[in-house]
Amino acid sequence: MKNLGYYNGKYDEIENMYIPMNDRVCYFGDGCYDATYSRNHIIYNLDEHIDRFYNSAALLRIEIPHTKDEMKAILKEILSKMDDGDCFVYWQATRGTGIRNHAFPDDGSKANIWITFKPCKTQPIDTKLKMITLEDTRFLHCNIKTLNLLPSVIATQKAKEAGCDETIFHRHGRVTECAHSNIHIIKDNILVTAPTDHLILPGIARANLIKMCKKLGYGVDETEYTLDDLMNADEVILSSSGSFCIQVVEVDGKKVGGKAPEMLKNLQDALVKDFMDATDK
């Protein structure tokens, strides 16, 4: 199949799938999700993404009707039906189905499981990004990968209209993350990245970046930093599941980074190699 949708055990091409109107996602965005990429029909960092998915569900008090191993097996089985093994892999759990009511369903209905696959490759590592900044007005549970993404949608649209690629969020000058990525800086051969508190999502790519820095002998500082720090950094780096370590070259129309090309290249090469090695048959 060219693409694939799955809902509670039923699957077909995405265009042929239909979802009950009373799924709580339709009214409240009541659920959580996770996503990664596959290559050669092998899902990258699946264990880490599954762990984060179940953690998000637990924080939302959503009980997933499968064990972690069962969930991984479902994803692998559905992926095996795809013609193209290089895919964007997305899955989510919603808090069941029922007539609209803000309170949880009384009948103890099981979570609904959605999965989609579409052919897609990771972003070229030599991409150069332009960004804008916006005040972070989202809620205070950004560590949970919820389906409530309207602020990120609006921020991404503003970036697009400005001719840019992403939006950097900040709270009164403190950099948090991007609309759908994590953001980091390099200063004096040290990776500086916001701490994993309730203001940012604990990115899997962020964790890989930290691990690779330590493996290569670079320092890591998981601490708060400001927009001024970012604008004066040696490098500004974006990371996400499909963009392992991408250089940011412009923020709000001003040039940034470009002062630590060797460290940046070493990290990029190492992270791409890790992805290739993990998804080689």
**Residue 201 — pLDDT band, cuts 50, 70, 90?**
very high
pLDDT at 281: 81
Which one, of 113, 5, 140, 141, lies nearest residue 54 by Cα? 113
Query: Are 248 and 129 in contact, with CB atoms under 8 Å apart?
Result: yes
- CA separation for the pair 182, 205 (Å, rounded): 8
pLDDT computed for residue 110 by the predictor: 87
Mean pLDDT of 98-114: 90
Average pLDDT, the chain: 96
Confidence band for 123, pLDDT divided at 50, 70 and 90: very high
Q: What is the pLDDT of residue 67?
A: 97
Residue 235 has pLDDT above 90, yes or no: yes
Residue 3 has pLDDT above 80, yes or no: yes
What pLDDT is stored for residue 109 in this prediction? Answer: 77
**pLDDT attached to residue 108:** 73
How far is 243 from 124, CA to CA, in rounded Å?
Answer: 8
pLDDT in tens, 127-151: 999 999 999 999 999 999 999 999 9
Q: How confident is the model at residue 106 (pLDDT cuts 50, 70, 90)?
A: confident
Would you state the pLDDT for residue 96? 94
Query: Taking 90 as the threshold, does the pLDDT of residue 107 lie above it?
Result: no
H or E element that contains 206: helix 204-216
Domains of the chain, start order: 4-119 (3.30.470.10), 128-278 (3.20.10.10)
Position 54 scores a pLDDT of 98
**Residue 121, pLDDT score:** 96
pLDDT higher than 90, residue 63: yes
pLDDT above 90 for 212: yes
* Predicted structure pTM score: 0.95
Asked which of 5-19, 63-77, 103-117, 194-208 is least confident by mean pLDDT, the reply is: 103-117
Report pLDDT digits (tens) over 17-41.
999 999 999 999 999 999 999 999 9
- Residue 276: pLDDT band by 50, 70, 90 thresholds? very high
pLDDT at 42 over 90: yes
Instruction: Please give the helix or strand (H or E) that residue 229 lies within, else none.
Output: helix 227-231
pLDDT given for residue 43 in this prediction = 98
Got the DSSP string for 138-169?
S-S-TTS-BS--HHHHHHHHHHHHTT-SEEEE
What is the rounded average pLDDT of the residues 250-274? 98
Query: Catalytic residues, which ones?
Result: 145
The greatest distance separating any two alpha carbons of the chain, rounded to the nearest whole angstrom, comes to 59
* pLDDT(126) > 90: yes
